[in-house]
Each structure stands twice: as structure tokens, then as C-alpha cells.
């Protein structure tokens, strides 16, 4: 009796699995790592009451926390140039910088993680809506041509979007409680 039939099935399974893994990596290399997420919420306060919560990196911890990460702050306390940075053994290093701020209208920021290997750019736009404010939060980034991160980019609307929705809810609660 030949040994070939004994090994042919496991060899076929191994060949198929290797081929699928290779195909998956190839597709991952071709996929764009770019992602963009947008969420919005209506807050029961005018833009002037909301703006101080979004142009001050120290206040972001109250409504968009990063967990138990110890942060340092530099630059001005608020507005363009205000910086929050961290270096955490589990999360890694990162820098959040407010790039521009138009009072009661818009804040633009940039987040660099892992020494700039991953960059997120975001905006929080405030527009009057009756006696309240419509807050529109947009973020976008690019993971590059990493075979695994290309797949993760496809999930960002769901995962990052859920975090943004939770943060907007907390922002609404904080603004309401401060009035």
C-alpha cells in the first residue's frame, strides 16, 4: 500500500489554507487603508455653550475619554496650538493637537499615534439649530498599504462611529449639566 493516499488529504487542506491566506494578504495589500467617519447630534444649548467643551483638550477627557492614560498638556490651554500628549505602555504614544478653532463654529484637530505612523484628522462643526446646536464630528485617516489594517479600515465606520456616538452623548450631558 502506498503512503501517498494517507498524506494527500492533509496536503490538499494545507495547500488550500495557504492559498487562501496568501490571497487574503494580497487583497489586503491592494485595499485602501483610508477611512472616514461622520456622526452628528443635536444638543440643547447654543454654540457658545458647546464650544468651550471642544476647543480645550483638558475638557475632552470629560466627554471623549481615552481611558486611564496619563496625559501632559502644552501650548495654549485652548484653541489652535493646544496639545495633549501621552505615552502609555499599552496604548503607545500619541499627540492630539488643535490645528484651528473658529469660536462657536468649528474646531479642527490632528492626532498622531506611534510617532506619526498613524494620523487622524478631525473636525467638530457647530451650527445653530433653533435654540440648540447641531454638532457634526468628522474623522478621517489612512492606515497605508498594510495587509491587515486595510481590513480594519473597512470597520472604522462601525467601531469609531460607535465611540463618537457615545462621546457626543456624554458631551450633550456635560453641556446640559453645566448650564
28-62 pLDDT per residue, tens: 555 678 889 999 999 999 999 999 999 999 999 89
The pTM (predicted TM-score) of the whole model is 0.81
Left (φ > 0), alpha (ψ -120 to 50) or beta: where does 79 sit? left
For the domain made up of 8-177, the CATH class stated in words is: alpha beta
State the pLDDT at residue 146: 72
Q: Is 158's pLDDT higher than 70?
A: yes
Question: The C-alpha cell of 75 is what?
Answer: 501650548
Judge whether residue 80 has pLDDT over 90. Answer: yes
pLDDT value, residue 8: 76
Domain ranges of the chain: 8-177
- Residue 151, pLDDT above cutoff 80: no
> Which tops the pLDDT comparison, 15 or 155?
155
C-alpha distances out from residue 110 to 3, 20, 45, 99, 138, Å: 62, 37, 26, 7, 12
pLDDT recorded at residue 156:
85
- Return the pLDDT at 78: 96
Q: Could you give the CA distance from residue 100 to residue 66 in angstroms, rounded to a whole number?
A: 22
Residues 122 and 126: their CA atoms lie apart, in Å, by: 13
Q: Give 76 or 69, the one with higher predicted confidence.
A: 76
Which residues lie below 8 Å from residue 63, measured CB to CB, with a gap of 6+? Answer: 53, 167, 170, 171, 173, 174
- What are the helix (H) ranges across 41-155? 47-54, 57-63, 149-153
Q: Pick the closest to residue 129 from 40, 7, 12 (CA basis).
A: 40
Please report the pLDDT score of residue 19 as a whole number: 61
pLDDT of residue 86: 92
Is 14 a residue whose pLDDT tops 80?
no
* 94-132 confidence digits (pLDDT tens): 999 999 999 999 999 999 988 778 899 999 999 999 999
Amino acid at each position: 500500500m502506498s503512503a501517498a493516499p494517507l498524506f494527500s488529504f492533509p496536503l490538499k487542506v494545507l495547500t488550500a489554507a495557504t492559498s487562501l491566506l496568501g490571497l487574503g494578504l494580497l487583497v489586503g495589500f491592494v485595499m485602501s487603508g483610508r477611512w472616514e467617519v461622520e456622526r452628528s447630534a443635536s444638543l440643547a444649548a447654543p454654540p457658545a455653550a458647546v464650544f468651550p467643551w471642544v476647543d480645550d483638550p483638558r475638557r475632552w477627557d470629560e466627554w471623549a475619554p481615552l481611558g486611564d492614560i496619563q496625559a501632559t498638556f502644552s501650548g495654549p490651554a485652548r484653541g489652535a496650538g493646544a496639545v495633549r500628549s501621552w505615552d502609555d505602555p499599552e496604548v503607545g504614544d500619541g499627540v492630539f493637537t488643535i490645528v484651528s478653532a473658529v469660536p462657536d463654529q468649528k474646531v479642527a484637530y490632528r492626532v498622531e499615534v506611534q510617532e506619526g505612523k498613524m494620523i487622524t484628522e478631525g473636525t467638530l462643526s457647530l451650527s445653530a439649530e433653533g435654540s440648540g446646536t447641531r454638532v457634526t464630528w468628522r474623522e478621517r485617516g489612512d492606515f497605508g498599504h498594510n495587509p491587515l489594517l486595510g481590513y480594519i479600515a473597512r470597520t472604522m465606520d462601525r467601531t469609531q462611529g460607535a465611540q463618537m456616538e457615545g462621546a457626543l452623548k456624554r458631551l450633550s450631558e456635560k453641556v446640559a449639566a453645566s448650564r
